[in-house]
Structure 1
Amino acid sequence: MSVADFMALCLGHPEHGYYTTRDPLGAAGDFTTAPEISQMFGEMIGLWLRSAWEAMGAPADLRVIELGPGRGTLMQDARRAMGPLAQAETWLVETSPRLRAEQARRLPGACWADRLDEVPEGPALIVANEFLDALPVRQFIATPEGWRERQVGLKGERLAWGLSGVLPGFDPAPPGAWAESSPAARATAAGIARRIAAHGGAALLIDYGYRAADRPAGWTLQALRRHAPADPLEAPGEADLTWLVDFDALAADLAPLACRVTSQGRFLAQMGIGHRAAALAEARPDQAGTIADALERLTAPAAMGTLFKVLAALPPGAPTPAGFDEDA
């Protein structure tokens, strides 16, 4: 089977899937996302949403939509900084029953959908943090005979990597050239673009990924289990599987929207996370060290600051949004 089919089964199988059978977050899980590191992350997102809403003229009928909201922590923290926008109808695109229960506890009054296209039409502000990287990805490599797709199969009684036959329709490339493509991520981007182009709004997409200048040397699929790297084939359904998002390709998939991309560290700094950290440390001096550590983890180039990228997508001609200076 393709890597995409393997990922889909491992992560979404109704009985044995990683996301359908557990809460993967926090110390007891397998990984920690930015909203779980500090309330400051969600608060900066809330400030951005409020700024984008005000730039639209503060429409009363706008919906706030989050894709893959985890435990609901990001939106819970964001609401503190959203001002009047916190009263807007909130929609959470989530398929995990366990995570929906967590979200309901933190976000009373929220609405749920399995897919973005199930959310009622109208202007919307859309947020997705570490969502696209977990959508199934296909992987390809150029061989002397032509392009082939990476696959997962059996070698004896164990899972093993393999390659498909030669694929038609690919442009020639030197042996060893590689490519990744996620049909689900591309469809999500296309859905976001259609909605905002038709009804107005904006999207803020945050994930770990790369741009053309820092493209990795090879395929980016990785597994994480108990906060440590793992073999993706070792324990299907027991580890988180992700890949690195190509943000230049993502921007192209969001056409005709206008996109701006920057690093997470730069975005958070421009949104004022340093000032927020100082205010929190002054209010809670006994937690000053913890707050400083969280700020470092979220913004430092050696931590999440550079590896994670932030993309804003808006209707063509919209002004530069908060958090994205003219050089972003």
Structure 2
Amino acid sequence: MPVKPAAPSASFSGPFALGTLSAPDQASFPALVVPERRALDLRPALGDPALTIRAVFERWDELLPLLRTLAADSTAEWQSLDGLRVHAPVEPRQVFQSGANYREHVIDLEVAHRASDDPRTVEEARTEIAAIMDRRAAEDLPYVFIGLPSALTGPYDDVVLPAWAEQPDWELELAAVIAKPAYRVPVEEALDHVAGYTIANDLTDRATVFRRDMKAIGTDWLRSKNAPGFTPLGPWIVPAESIADPGDLRVTLKLNGETMQDESSKDMIFGVARMVSYASQTAQLLPGDLVLTGSPAGNGMHWGRLLRDGDVMDGSITGLGAQRTRCVGEAE
């Protein structure tokens, strides 16, 4: 079994990123992290002993220039990342999740979920589903649902696979972090409300996605996606100004060292701006909230290989760093 990293990586784009860290037996703190593997406790640095990362986003326009200055300050009270625990970088009030947003991923899933008596060949099914995806893009109707903040866990924490989960699957995703309240914002202004980006692995139990007792009800996202720890998040939140194009990032997941997902965010049907704008037409997005943008092709259903006890997932996205999580099966 691969060995989990002894210390977190600080590989990301730009001069700094944000995270939530803790020393052994101490409370967590909001941190400014630089590529030299150093971290700065933002509470004393910004003169606010109650500061959290979410509170940083609530004051984003005010604090961003200060963060740039602190990142370049060699005299600040920096500490090594060695020995520090990395938590989920932010505690959002709301998590907005996107389904069916990567063209090839949706095609693969639909083919995998075909009824046993479906008369179509695989090629015929893929062609028909591809046409549906193209029509969705033309009609401009994203699919967004709500996740639970309690499902979040750190980027290096173990993930417990519940005993009831028959088909636990991985879904590595780009996540946008909201900076200022967004309500009914147009697409053209949506990215002005995004503070930065991070990595989310939106685990899903495929066996419980659809209700077996009453198919007309449709999807059951509470059951299939929101077990404790089902969304490893982070390690870092990289400011949007350090990511040239969120629509052109490589999303890669390896299972026990074998590449399973390796796709560009160019395959998204709806980009980050469209997802943020769409969600804001109904709900008010708040500072620190997450907008997950969907997962690319290469999930376990496609490979016929789902998660089990002892599996190790390594996920990375261009410029955002990497996470590693080990699966632990829950006893019956």
Highest RCO, 1 vs 2 (Cα 8 Å, sep ≥ 6)? 2
Q: Which has the higher helix share?
A: 1
Measured against the shorter chain, the TM-score band is: under 0.3
